[in-house]
């Protein structure tokens, strides 16, 4: 059967398939998982230390601190860097709310930067526009799995004398000019939310850093303010409870051994999408692909296109059994709890929020499923265009 006829046999495509990934690693981790369950040491311990070592090495950083979520990673990182009341932190407007919410929870003020119309990521120009004398740090978000131009951004941050934090929640294994996400900033924050490229059986996260004092502070903050070498009930600072569980660490170590293979599958699927949609993009159908920079290793956590008449295109795809997402329908500075921090319109992020559409992509997706999504998308775009023409002449 060729691709096209095989695509005809496909009738539904999920947005992702977490059970396929879990099923692949489960036979390898089952014994260790059960041993841990029976042992009863569920928080921290050797499985967490082993994963932290492997994760730091993978990211090209000296240390990793396992935490309860990516959101905590961002907040604790800011606090450990001494960012708080009276300080400003630049964040892109196009990101998940956790990036900006962490700044507010740390007691600081988010300042929103617009994004590039091509990549939908922050640029050194949009960063520079958002910096004020009160700015202490920038959170650079490697959204969708792609790092922005880190050479330019790190240089701009250095020139402004502000700290760089990477929000790499969607970018496990992403690279800029051959350097891994996690090796550029003072620290980088990862999420292991189940749907991420490296996902746990629940919430989990980590900070990686090559600054030992920062790692120590974050570890202490995440463990009720306890410090290494002190007794269980001695607390040096007010902290919180944000530790990584041993069962999650066992799964994450198991999945980490497959991460590169899964990422290569994502990259191949994205290349197939690009090839099939490229000819359609130029023919005035209202479809625009998100650009990939030549120096970026884009790990394709999400495959995001821009379409006009998104709601009707989405509805048409849903009718064909294709699940899609929107990341994100409301830019951060327009979210009710963050509006008070918005100072200017951010035209690119605002325009894009009404057009972006995330198509299914996951390591176990088949070529035929990609064909089916592309065929369905082009038909949905055509149908939406005809409907709007008809509406215009009535």
Ligand X SMILES: Cc1ncc(COP(=O)(O)O)c(C=O)c1O
Give the binding site for ligand X (CB under 6 A). 69-71, 95-96, 98-99, 141, 167, 169-170, 191, 193, 203, 205
Nearest to 378 by CA among 336, 325, 320, 326: 320
For 386, phi then psi, to 5°, come to -65, -45
Quick check: 166 and 184 in contact, CB under 8 A?
yes
Task: Tell me the residue ranges of DSSP E strands in the chain.
Answer: 63-67, 88-92, 109-113, 135-141, 163-167, 175-176, 179-180, 187-191, 205-209, 287-289, 296-297, 303-307, 356-359
How far apart are alpha carbons 351 and 106 in whole angstroms?
Answer: 29
Which is closer to ligand X, CB of 70 or CB of 239?
Answer: 70
- Supply the minimum distance, in Å, between the C-beta of residue 250 and ligand X: 18
CB neighbour class for 389 (10 Å; exposed up to 12, middle 13-18, buried from 19): exposed
How far apart are alpha carbons 359 and 378 in whole angstroms?
Answer: 13
Q: What is the DSSP string of 245-262?
A: BHHHHHHHHHHHHHHHHH
How far apart are alpha carbons 104 and 69 in whole angstroms?
Answer: 17
Which is closer to ligand X, CB of 70 or CB of 185?
Answer: 70
- Supply the minimum distance, in Å, between the C-beta of residue 99 and ligand X: 5
Pair of tokens at residue 88: 């400003």
Pair of tokens at residue 104: 């507010």
How far apart are alpha carbons 136 and 163 in whole angstroms?
Answer: 6
Which is closer to ligand X, CB of 202 or CB of 354?
Answer: 202
- Supply the minimum distance, in Å, between the C-beta of residue 190 and ligand X: 8
Task: Please state at what angle helix 46-59 crosses helix 246-281, rounded to 10 degrees.
Answer: 30
- Supply the minimum distance, in Å, between the C-beta of residue 189 and ligand X: 7
Which is closer to ligand X, CB of 341 or CB of 372?
Answer: 341
- Supply the minimum distance, in Å, between the C-beta of residue 69 and ligand X: 4
Task: Please state at what angle helix 246-281 crosses helix 367-393, rounded to 10 degrees.
Answer: 50
Which is closer to ligand X, CB of 292 or CB of 369?
Answer: 292
- Supply the minimum distance, in Å, between the C-beta of residue 35 and ligand X: 27
Which is closer to ligand X, CB of 55 or CB of 96?
Answer: 96
- Supply the minimum distance, in Å, between the C-beta of residue 388 and ligand X: 32
Nearest to 223 by CA among 34, 7, 44, 10: 44
- Supply the minimum distance, in Å, between the C-beta of residue 96 and ligand X: 4
Which is closer to ligand X, CB of 36 or CB of 189?
Answer: 189
Which residue sits closest to ligand X, CB atoms considered?
Answer: 70
Task: From residue 357, give the alpha-carbon distance in Å to each of 289, 290, 297, 310.
Answer: 10, 10, 21, 7
How far apart are alpha carbons 90 and 100 in whole angstroms?
Answer: 9
- Supply the minimum distance, in Å, between the C-beta of residue 203 and ligand X: 6
Task: From residue 23, give the alpha-carbon distance in Å to each of 20, 271, 388.
Answer: 5, 26, 45
Which is closer to ligand X, CB of 25 or CB of 140?
Answer: 140
- Supply the minimum distance, in Å, between the C-beta of residue 75 and ligand X: 10
Which is closer to ligand X, CB of 6 or CB of 104?
Answer: 104
Which is closer to ligand X, CB of 97 or CB of 342?
Answer: 97
């Amino acid at each position: 059967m060729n691709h096209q006829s095989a695509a005809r046999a496909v009738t539904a495509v999920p947005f992702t398939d977490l059970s396929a990934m879990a099923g692949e690693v489960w036979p390898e981790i089952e014994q260790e998982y059960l041993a841990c369950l029976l042992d009863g040491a569920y928080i921290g311990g050797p499985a967490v230390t082993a994963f932290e070592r492997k994760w730091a090495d993978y990211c090209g950083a000296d240390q990793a601190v396992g935490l309860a979520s990516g959101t905590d990673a961002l907040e604790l990182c800011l606090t450990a860097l001494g960012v708080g009341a009276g300080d400003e932190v630049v964040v892109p407007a196009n990101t998940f709310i956790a990036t900006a919410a962490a700044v507010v929870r740390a007691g600081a003020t988010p300042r929103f930067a617009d994004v590039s119309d091509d990549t939908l990521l922050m640029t050194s120009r949009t960063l520079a526009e958002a910096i004020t004398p009160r700015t202490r740090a920038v959170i650079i978000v490697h959204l969708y799995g792609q790092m922005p131009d880190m050479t330019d951004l790190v240089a701009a941050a250095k020139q402004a004398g502000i700290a760089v934090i990477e929000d790499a929640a969607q970018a496990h294994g992403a690279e800029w000019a051959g350097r891994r996400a996690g090796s550029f900033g003072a620290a980088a924050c990862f999420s292991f939310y189940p749907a991420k490229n490296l996902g746990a059986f629940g919430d989990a996260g980590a900070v990686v850093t090559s600054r030992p004092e920062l790692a120590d502070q974050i570890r202490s903050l995440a463990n009720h303010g306890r410090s290494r070498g002190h007794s269980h009930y001695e607390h040096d600072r007010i902290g919180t409870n944000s530790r990584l569980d041993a069962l999650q660490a066992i799964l994450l170590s198991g999945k980490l051994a497959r991460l590169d293979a899964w990422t290569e599958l994502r990259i191949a699927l994205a290349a197939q999408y690009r090839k099939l949609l490229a000819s359609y993009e130029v023919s005035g159908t209202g479809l625009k692909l998100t650009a990939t920079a030549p120096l970026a290793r884009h790990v394709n956590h999400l495959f995001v296109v821009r379409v006009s008449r998104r709601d009707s295109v989405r509805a048409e795809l849903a009718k064909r059994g294709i699940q899609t997402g929107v990341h994100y329908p409301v830019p951060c500075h327009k979210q009710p709890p963050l509006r008070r921090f918005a100072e200017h319109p951010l035209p690119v992020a605002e325009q894009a929020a009404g057009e972006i559409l995330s198509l299914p992509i996951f390591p176990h997706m088949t070529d035929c499923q990609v064909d089916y999504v592309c065929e369905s998308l082009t038909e949905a775009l055509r149908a939406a265009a005809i409907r709007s023409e008809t509406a215009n002449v009535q």
